[in-house]
Amino acid sequence: MVPHGRNYYQSGIFLKDLNEEVISIIGKHYQAVPSPMSVVMIETEGGKIAELPEDECAVSWRQTRFCVNVVAAWEKLKPYKTDSTYINMFNVPQEEKDKIPIAEFFGTHAARVKEIKLKWDPKNVFQAQTNILKMA
């Protein structure tokens, strides 16, 4: 969706309706974005997931009709960037994540992090966006 190597911030909200007022607000504010790489994504929700009553599971937004997700992009700070990245804030395609050197996130602590992970989670049960055991 968005190119690797830029700086991004992302946030979203659920909406009950996507009426003319909401569309007007989104359009007005989108005209002022600082980068052509910034995007507003509007996703439809509901459908099959809305068929299950909300009190039957942990997900509380089953009756939501729309999700508006805003991704802001900027590049002007890139020349001032360090060589490390906060693990929750890096943006690469999923298939590229295992190729990122673990030291980019943990620096000189990378070997210790892997050691702890192998000791306490040898089956790699706890992983999400970043699979520490598969990283370079």
Tally of domains within the chain: 2
In this structure, the answer to whether residues 34 and 64 fall within a common structural domain is yes
In this structure, the answer to whether residues 72 and 89 fall within a common structural domain is no
Nearest to 101 by CA among 80, 73, 130: 130
In this structure, the answer to whether residues 58 and 115 fall within a common structural domain is no
Residue 51 φ/ψ region, left for φ over 0, alpha for ψ in the -120 to 50 degree band, beta for the rest = alpha
Please report, as a single letter, which amino acid is at residue 23: I
Measured in degrees and rounded to the nearest 5, phi and psi for residue 7 equal: -100, 135
What is the spatial order of strands in the sheet that 7-15 belongs to?
Answer: 7-15, 66-74, 39-44
Classify residue 112 by its DSSP letter: H
Please give the residue range of the domain that contains residue 38: 6-76
CATH number at residue 15: 3.40.462.20
In this structure, the answer to whether residues 65 and 88 fall within a common structural domain is no
The residue whose two tokens read 């099959």 is 48
pLDDT tens digits in sequence order for the chain, 136 residues long: 666 667 777 888 888 889 999 999 999 998 988 778 888 999 888 888 788 877 777 666 777 889 898 888 777 777 777 666 666 656 566 666 677 777 777 778 888 988 998 999 989 888 765 667 766 5
